[in-house]
Amino acid sequence: MIARIIGTGSCLPESIVTNDDLAGIMDTSDEWIASRTGIRKRHLAKDETTAFMASEAARKALENAGIEADKVDMIIVGTITGDYITPSTACQVQGRLGAVNAVAFDINAACSGFMYAFHTAYAYLQTGIYKTVLVLGAETLSKIMDWTDRSTCVLFGDGAGAAVVQAFEEGGQQASEKEMMGERNGLLAFEQGSDGARGMVLNCRGRLNHNPLTTNPFAPSYVSMDGQEVYKFAVSTVPVSIRRVLGKAGVEVGDIKFFILHQANLRIIQSVAKRLKADVDKFPVSLDHCGNISAASVPVLLDEMNRKGMLNRGDKIVMSGFGGGLTWASAVIEW
């Protein structure tokens, strides 16, 4: 069985907020934000909801893949900012698309959400349970930011990205010449991990506890982060995860055309490139215009690259997510 991404889509809110715009409402500057993070602007939702952006991204991905909504077997959304506790964002996407044959659920793995969803999809595809899965990352992070905390709110943005992943029988009708020669493509290998013991370095308490019996009702809170600890986690864990997944796939750093990393911070990306001894030009960037959109950052960047024609059949690509939980996940795919 070969599981391949056959279509991508994305949706960003209309409103664009520059660093200078932020400097007009808080004590910050374009120089501070851009030099420490690489971020210059971000899209922030006005009326767009997480479900709306996810549905638009999904619609475009289906169109790109040439697949009708009723052919989708499963919808998985990586998100920590769904509009409701229930229904899930995935169920809302299913309803909006009319994907009547799909089972739908969300995954909470913060910035690794899309990658966890992608790997979960693969498990269902590999066992033959399903054939076509819509995998999404969608976030409206602006609603869980403390807009008086300049150390966090300047980093994040809103948006959604989607990929249609489909299983093909090896040597089947849709298989390439290489596959018929016995060489696999699609998803070559993945690896993922979690470290709950360090989870509080990046946290957000979701909701008020309404239980009248509780003696310790904690209040909701905004995103709170120990930036330096998160930085250390990212630059130490991501290169190890990528080396591990390259080993599993039996390919070298030099074989990879692009490393599509979660877009948290340019300095993290540069450090990972250095530690892997890889050319930093192989690490495409969208955080300059999107900021950090958590689970949406990998699929939004993937869609940008796909639509620019940067991805060619046979290219080997690494995708890697890391963030809250703590969580991380990396995959090697052949486009």
Residue nearest to ligand ACO (CB): 227
Report the nearest approach of ligand ACO to the CB of residue 135 (Å).
19
Q: Are 54 and 77 in contact (CB under 8 A)?
A: yes
The residue range among 84-92, 113-121, 147-155, 160-168 that interacts with ligand ACO, by the rule CB under 6 A, is 147-155
Note the helical H segments in 174-333.
Answer: 177-180, 227-249, 266-276, 287-290, 297-307
Query: How far apart are CB 277 and ligand ACO at their closest, in Å?
Result: 22
Nearer Cβ to ligand ACO (7/291): 291
Rounded Cα–Cα distance for residues 122 and 129 (Å): 10
Number of residues that bind ligand ACO (CB under 6 A): 23
Among residue numbers 24 through 63, which ones bind ligand ACO (CB under 6 A)?
28, 32-33, 36-37
Determine contact, residues 278/261, Cβ cutoff 8 Å.
no
Find the part of the chain contacting ligand ACO (CB under 6 A) among 46-54, 97-105, 171-179, 259-267: 259-267
Question: Hey, which residues does 190 pair with through a beta bridge?
Answer: 331
- Crossing angle for the helix pair 30-37 and 266-276, to the nearest 10 degrees: 20
Restricted to residues 216-235, the positions that interact with ligand ACO (CB under 6 A) are: 225, 227-228, 230-231, 234
Catalytic residue among 43, 64, 91, 111: 111
Give every CB contact of residue 101 below 8 A, 6+ residues apart in sequence. Answer: 70, 71, 72, 73
Q: Is 264 in the site for ligand ACO (CB under 6 A)?
A: yes
Select the span of 7-15, 73-81, 264-272, 274-282 touching ligand ACO (CB under 6 A). Answer: 264-272
- Give the 3-state secondary structure percentages of the chain, helix then strand then coil, rounded to 5: 40, 25, 35
Choose between 202 and 332: whose C-beta lies nearer to ligand ACO.
202
Active site residue 111: yes
Give the contact letters, 169-208, x = binds to ligand ACO (CB under 6 A), - = no. ---------------------------------x------
Spatial contact of 293 and 111, defined as CB atoms under 8 Å apart: no
Pick one of 166, 271, 292, 320: the residue that binds ligand ACO (CB under 6 A): 292
Residue 105 is a binding residue for ligand ACO (CB under 6 A): no
Residue whose C-alpha is closest to residue 83's, from 135, 48, 46, 112: 48
**Angle at the Cα of 282 (from 280 to 285), degrees rounded to 5?**
80
30: three-class secondary structure by DSSP: helix
CB under 6 A: which stretch of 48-56, 148-156, 189-197, 213-221 binds ligand ACO? Answer: 148-156
307 counts as binding ligand ACO under rule CB under 6 A: no
For this structure, is 290 an active site residue? no
186 or 239: CB nearest ligand ACO: 239
CB of 140 to ligand ACO, least distance (A): 15
Residue at 111: amino acid letter = C
Element (H, E) at 258: strand 258-261
DSSP SS3 for 313: coil
Residue identified by tokens 């989708």 is 72
**Cβ neighbours around 86 below 10 Å, total:** 7
Q: Check 11, 185, 262, 265 and give the catalytic one.
A: 262
Cα–Cα dist 169/181, whole Å: 13
Interface contacts to ligand ACO, rule CB under 6 A: 28, 32-33, 36-37, 111, 150-151, 154-155, 202, 225, 227-228, 230-231, 234, 264-265, 267, 292, 322-323
Q: Catalytic residues, which ones?
A: 111, 262, 292
